[in-house]
């Protein structure tokens, strides 16, 4: 029976426009009869001593138990003595890879209409290891950490992702000609993993050349895998190619195959509570979540309905130049299902 196949997933509606766009996802999933039961969690109003942050221990347990979740944007509380929300999530759930598909959206004009690539960013080390100090006055040092363990893990994920999403090529992005040891080790690990996947084309591209190729012709790329800092920059560059952060979904991959999908944008306080937010990025993030669960047919159907609604152009939200409310846009997506 269908009852057996119902999957429980954690939902963080988040703050600002979060609850409005999360409600849009719930409506679309209902219309598409997606067999998901949401376990809703909000971030706390005080610091939870077990996580030392506003993220509650219960909500972390929920994601760990379900292995799958969707997160709306959250306001970063300002103050001292606790960990940021994103750092807490990353550390507690072991989120080691950030995946961002960038797909041209027909009907939303940008200088490019042929983008269909995925960036996979190592998310735990590199220049972002937080190891900086002053050596003597006027001289500071920052340590870039690259480990075999983290590099193999993210490379493995990139090839697995390519395989399960019908992608043909993986490009490792690096600067190993200068960063011989660190990026050299990263590349070495990518090569080892590539050898186990002879059916997927593997190539290595130096980051500066990669930037030039991306802005000249993004269709040269398929799946890109890279260390933390390069991934931070290149993934935003790629979001810009398709029209910005409002349309870009993402998914974080963690320990034991756990996945936490989230929109890339923030809480948009300027339009929160006004029924004006564009739910596309969170909807496309929920589509990534479904693909991760292997619910490919549902994922394809929802993605097509979203693209069709935008292409038709009758019910676009303000950020895309239209006049529709979040609710009207959501209804249009449901109708296209
Ligand atoms: P933002 O992304 O919230 O907003 C930037 C601009 O884009 C605003 O004009 C906003 O109206 C618009 N915008 C963003 N998403 C939109 C959507 N879905 N539909 C229509 N318009 C949209 O960035 P910000 O203003 O720098 O940050 C606001 C808050 O969000 C801060 O507290 C920040 O810490 C937080 N934030 C959270 C996350 C996260 O939880 N992942 C990410 C970024 C920022």
- pLDDT one-digit tens code per residue, 78-98: 777 787 888 888 888 999 999
Is 270 among the residues known to form the active site?
no
Are the CB atoms for 281 and 246 separated by under 8 Å? yes
First vs last Cα of the chain: how many Å apart? 23
- For residue 243, report the phi and psi dihedrals to the nearest 5 degrees: 120, 10
Confidence band (pLDDT; 50, 70, 90) for 4? low
What's the rounded Cα separation, in Å, for the pair 13 and 94? 21
Q: Could you tell me if the CB of 74 is within 6 A of ligand 1?
A: yes
- For residue 71, report the phi and psi dihedrals to the nearest 5 degrees: -125, 125
Count of Cβ atoms closer than 10 Å to residue 306 Cβ: 23
Question: Which residue's CA is the closest to the ligand 1 atom numbered 27?
Answer: 266
Is 300 among the residues known to form the active site?
no
Q: Could you tell me if the CB of 264 is within 6 A of ligand 1?
A: no
In tens, the pLDDT along 95-137 reads 999 999 999 998 888 999 989 999 999 999 999 888 999 999 9
> Measured from the CA of 263, which atom of ligand 1 is nearest?
41
Report the predicted TM-score, pTM, of the whole model to 2 decimal places: 0.93
Q: How far is CA 27 from the centre of its chain?
A: 22
Q: Could you tell me if the CB of 76 is within 6 A of ligand 1?
A: yes
Q: Could you tell me if the CB of 247 is within 6 A of ligand 1?
A: no
What's the rounded Cα separation, in Å, for the pair 22 and 252? 18
What's the rounded Cα separation, in Å, for the pair 108 and 276? 18
What's the rounded Cα separation, in Å, for the pair 46 and 254? 26
What three-state secondary structure class fits 101?
Answer: strand
Compute the average pLDDT of residues 253-263.
94
């Amino acid at each position: 029976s269908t009852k057996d196949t119902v999957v429980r997933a954690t939902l963080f509606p988040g703050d600002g426009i979060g609850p409005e766009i999360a409600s849009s996802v719930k409506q679309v999933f209902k219309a598409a009869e997606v067999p998901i039961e949401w376990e809703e969690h909000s971030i706390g109003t005080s610091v939870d001593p077990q996580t030392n942050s506003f993220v509650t221990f219960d909500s972390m347990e929920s994601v760990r138990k379900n292995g799958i979740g969707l997160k709306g944007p959250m306001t970063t509380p300002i103050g001292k003595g606790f960990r940021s929300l994103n750092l807490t999530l990353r550390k507690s759930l072991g989120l080691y890879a950030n995946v961002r598909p960038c797909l041209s959206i027909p009907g939303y004009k940008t200088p490019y209409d042929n983008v269909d690539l995925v960036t996979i960013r190592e998310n735990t080390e590199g220049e972002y290891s937080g190891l900086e100090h002053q050596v003597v006055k006027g001289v500071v040092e920052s340590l870039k950490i690259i480990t075999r363990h983290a590099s193999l893990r993210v490379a493995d994920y990139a090839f697995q992702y390519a395989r399960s999403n019908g992608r043909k090529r993986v490009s490792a992005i690096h600067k190993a000609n200068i960063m011989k040891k660190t990026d050299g080790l990263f590349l070495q690990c990518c090569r080892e993993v590539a050898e186990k996947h002879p059916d997927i084309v593997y190539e290595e591209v130096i980051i500066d050349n990669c930037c030039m190729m991306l802005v000249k012709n993004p269709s040269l790329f398929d799946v890109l895998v890279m260390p933390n800092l390069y991934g931070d920059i290149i993934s935003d560059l790629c979001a810009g190619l398709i029209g910005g952060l409002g349309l870009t979904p993402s998914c974080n991959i963690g320990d034991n195959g756990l996945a936490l999908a989230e929109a890339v944008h923030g809480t948009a306080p300027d339009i929160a509570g006004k029924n004006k937010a564009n739910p596309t990025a969170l909807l496309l993030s929920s589509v990534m979540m479904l693909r991760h669960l292997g619910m490919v047919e549902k994922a394809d159907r929802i993605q097509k309905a979203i693209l069709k609604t935008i292409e038709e152009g009758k019910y676009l939200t303000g950020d895309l130049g239209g006049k529709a409310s979040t609710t009207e846009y959501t209804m249009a997506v449901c109708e296209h299902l």
